[in-house]
Amino acid sequence: MCTEWQGWRAGTHSCELGHEAVGLVVDAAQSTRLKAGDRVIVMPHAGCGACPACEAGEHIHCTQQRDLLAETGSSSGIGTYSDYLLKPDYLLHKVPDDIETDHAAMAVCALGPSFTAMERMGVVAGETVLVSGCGAVGLGAVINASTIGARVIALELHPYRVELARALGAEHVLDPRAPDLLEQVEALTGGYGADAGIETSNNPLAPPRVLELLRARGRLSFVTWSGELPVKRITGKGLDIHGCWHWNHDRFGDAMMQRVRDARPLLDRLTTHRFGLDDVEKAFALQETGACGKVLLYPAGVPEDKRQRHSALEEAL
């Protein structure tokens, strides 16, 4: 589950909820890439598959998105909160046999956007990464950075997510409202600021503040849609700025699957709650509180082994 709870809170109605999933191919049609029974990661949207963006694997940036309902004559089938889904085969990535389905589900919005951010910023072990906002995407950024071997400083207010960020590898979690935030970050980075940063909070006040927490010639990525940046500060600090919406499964599929393998214990901690589709309203209500990490939704109900595993993990934590 991702941001659909915001529509629930606003009282909007939709018959096509959800944009990320993992599932089984039921009918492969004329596909030569996949067959019935394959487990696949479902990428968002429906890029045309033929434009320069799609040919480069950047399907999320396609400006000629396909209308799958019109093409198929179906009245539904593009939402992932469902038993069945329509999808072009080139927007499905096969899950290796050694990766659990629940872990594979983390490769979409939990890890995907910040995976792209880390790749584009060239983050390496030993660098300091600042993560602004510890919702599910920000927590995924903590996992991506810590799994690489980077040092993580996170910004978050919600007590539940502060503790979860620490459990996932954040060395420090700071209050983004602190009047001495810059001084705190400088003290933790030898006086220079973080090497790289990623803004995920969607707070319109965050971008210019996060910018100031980076060192000269640092790198900054945005997985967010709010806020503005002062151009003279970008130029003055010599920053590299990246807009990162999702990940390129054509180019980085193998690398992402290895990231999932490397991060397995952290992904178990990130998955804080599981619901059956019949309880989706309860799931939305939980997400609204912020007292959760990544939430998984099972159309056929939560499997018993997942319930038991989740209970054991909660006790261990």
Other beta carbons within 10 Å of 252: 17
Segment (H or E) for 173: strand 172-174
Domain span(s) for CATH 3.90.180.10 in the chain = 5-109+248-316
Is 128:213 a contact under the CB 8 Å cutoff?
no
CATH code for the part of the protein at 5-109+248-316: 3.90.180.10
pLDDT at 239 (0 to 100): 98
Tokens 């054991």 found at: 312
Which architecture, in CATH terms, is 112-243?
A: 3-Layer(aba) Sandwich (3.40)
For residue range 38-68, list pLDDT tens digits in order. Answer: 999 999 999 999 999 999 999 999 999 999 9
For residue range 199-212, list pLDDT tens digits in order. Answer: 999 999 999 999 99
For residue range 181-201, list pLDDT tens digits in order. Answer: 999 999 999 999 999 999 999
pLDDT at 235 (0 to 100): 97
Rounded-to-integer distance, Cα 308 and Cα 302, Å: 10
pLDDT at 305 (0 to 100): 85
Residues paired with 243 in a beta bridge: 222
Q: What average pLDDT does range 66-76 have in this prediction? A: 95
Residue 313 has pLDDT above 60, yes or no: no
Is 142:131 a contact under the CB 8 Å cutoff?
yes
For residue range 143-168, list pLDDT tens digits in order. Answer: 999 999 999 999 999 999 999 999 99
Rounded-to-integer distance, Cα 150 and Cα 203, Å: 25
Q: What average pLDDT does range 295-305 have in this prediction? A: 93
For residue range 233-268, list pLDDT tens digits in order. Answer: 999 999 999 999 999 999 999 999 999 999 999 999
Domain span(s) for CATH 3.40.50.720 in the chain = 112-243
Structure tokens at 209: 């503040």
> Cα-flanking dihedrals φ and ψ of residue 158, to 5°?
-65, 125
Is 114:198 a contact under the CB 8 Å cutoff?
yes
Is 306:271 a contact under the CB 8 Å cutoff?
no
